[in-house]
Amino acid sequence: MDKSEVLRVLSCVYDPDYRDKSVVDLGLVREDDIRIEGGSVSVNYRLTAPLCPFSAAIGLMMKHALEQGLGLQVSVRLDPSHGQGGLVKEVLESEEKSQALLQKLKDFGILEQCVRLQESS
């Protein structure tokens, strides 16, 4: 696996506010934001706006897409310099909070609209 495979999967994840552009198209994730060590993948991301209402959801959708698309566990985190970094980290690192948010994204159809893995085939 290499960074291009990670970017290929992430090119199928769309910001809920910009559903015609992927997180890669928007520059939320670039090649230098990806770290691959052994069988482990970690990705840092940034947001389009300082108070993005989907800050944790975008990270969770990227994590979901990568785990589905690559078949392995990944770590995703918001750029630590971002003002919402601590709150987002708390959500992404808590299994309970992550699952609750993922379920809400499914219930409202956001996950289906914003994670289009069939496009990476």
pLDDT in tens, 73-117: 899 999 988 888 888 999 999 999 999 999 999 999 999 999 998
Side by side, the strands of the sheet bearing 74-78 are 34-37, 40-45, 74-78
Could you tell me the CA-to-CA distances from 4 to 1, 113, 118 in Å, in that order?
A: 8, 23, 17
Range of the domain at 16: 3-120
Predicted confidence band of residue 120 (pLDDT cuts 50, 70, 90):
low
How many domains would you assign to the chain? 1
Alpha helices of the chain — where are they, by DSSP H?
3-10, 55-70, 85-93, 95-107, 110-114
What is the distance between the alpha carbons of residues 34 and 1, in angstroms, rounded to a whole number?
Answer: 12
Residue 119 has pLDDT above 70, yes or no: no
**CATH number of the domain where residue 24 is located:** 3.30.300.130
pLDDT band for 39, please (50, 70, 90 cuts): confident
